[in-house]
Homo-oligomer: A and B are copies of this chain.
C-alpha cells in the first residue's frame, strides 16, 4: 500500500478527472492512470468507474480516499515535528484572499512574518463572486473566505476551518444624507432607500432580505457590484446606500462616507481561513495562520477602542 498512490486517489476524489490530477501533480495523465490501476489491483476491487468522458469514484474508492486524508494528516504532522525541532517554519505557503480581507490583513501579516527567514508566502487575490471557496483548498494552502454568522457551509466537507474575526456590516451613507446625523439606523429607516447590492448568491444578500422583512417593504437595488471600492464610490456620489464591512471601508476618501450600525439586524460577516486538513498540519502553514489571527485580533481591537 503506497502513500503516493493514495494521494493520487484523494486528488481524483477532489478533481474528478485524471487529467486534472495530472496537471496538479505535474505528471502525465498516463502516469496517473497507471498508478490508479496498480492501486485497484492491490485493493482487489474497483475504485473508479467511467462516467461518460470522465471518471467517478466508487463507494470503496471514496472510503479509501477519505482514509487517505488521515494518512496525509499523520504524515504532515510528522514533518511538522521535525520542523519544530529545528525551531523554524520553512517552505512556501500559498494563500488566496478576497480583496477586502487581503487589504485589511495581509500587509501586517507579511511584515510580521518577515522575521521568519526561509518562510515564503505567496498571496493571490480572487474575486469572491467567481470563487468556490472550498474548491480553492485543492490549489492553495490557505483560503480566506467569508460567511454569515452561524452559517458554515464548509463544515461537512472535511475541511479545517479557523475563524479569524467577525466584522460588523454597517450601512454606508454619504455625509449629506438625511440619516447621516443618527448614531445608528433601523430597518424601517433604510428600507425605502435606493441600494447598491452585491451580486446574486453573496452572503450579504440574506441581510438585505432581513431588512425587507423587518422594515416592511421592498428594497430597491439599483446596481450590483462585487468590488467594495466601486460600491463606496457610488455611495459617495449619492447614487444609493449599501452594506459596508466596517473595518475595510474608507481609506480612499475619508470624510465623504459615514457608517451607521444597523439596529435589530444580525449584520456581521465572519472571516475564516479554510484549509485541507493535511495542509493545516504543516508548521509553516500554522505559523501563517497564527500571524493572521493575531493581526485580525489587533484590527478588531483598534476599531473597538
Contacts and interface: CB of A to CB of B under 8 A. Distances in A.
A64 interface: yes
Nearest to A59: B85
Chain B CB within 10 Å, residue with most, of A43, A77, A82: A82
A77 B70 contact: yes
Interface in A51-82: 59-60, 63-64, 66-68, 70-71, 73-75, 77-79, 81-82
A77 B1 CA distance: 11
A82 B70 contact: no
A150 interface: no
A281 to B, nearest CB: 10
Contact of A85 (B45, B70, B71, B79): B45
A153 interface: no
A67 B63 contact: no
13 contacts: A43-B82, A60-B82, A60-B85, A63-B81, A66-B81, A70-B74, A70-B77, A70-B78, A71-B71, A71-B75, A71-B78, A73-B74, A74-B74
Contacts of A6: 78
A86 interface: yes
A153 B66 CA distance: 35
Identical copies of this chain, number: 2
A283 B238 CA distance: 70
B67 A74 contact: yes
Given A63-B82, A71-B71, 19 more contacts: A1-B78, A6-B78, A44-B82, A44-B86, A45-B82, A59-B85, A60-B82, A60-B85, A63-B85, A64-B78, A64-B81, A64-B82, A67-B81, A68-B78, A70-B74, A70-B77, A70-B78, A71-B78, A73-B74
Nearest to A71: B74
Interface in A7-54: 43-45
Contacts of A75: 1, 3, 71
Interface in A80-105: 81-82, 85-86
A70 B45 CA distance: 26
A217 to B, nearest CB: 56
A196 B208 CA distance: 88
A64 B82 CA distance: 7
Contacts of A78: 1, 6, 64, 67-68, 70-71
A29 B79 CA distance: 25
Contacts of A3: 3, 75
A219 B4 CA distance: 63
A96 to B, nearest CB: 25
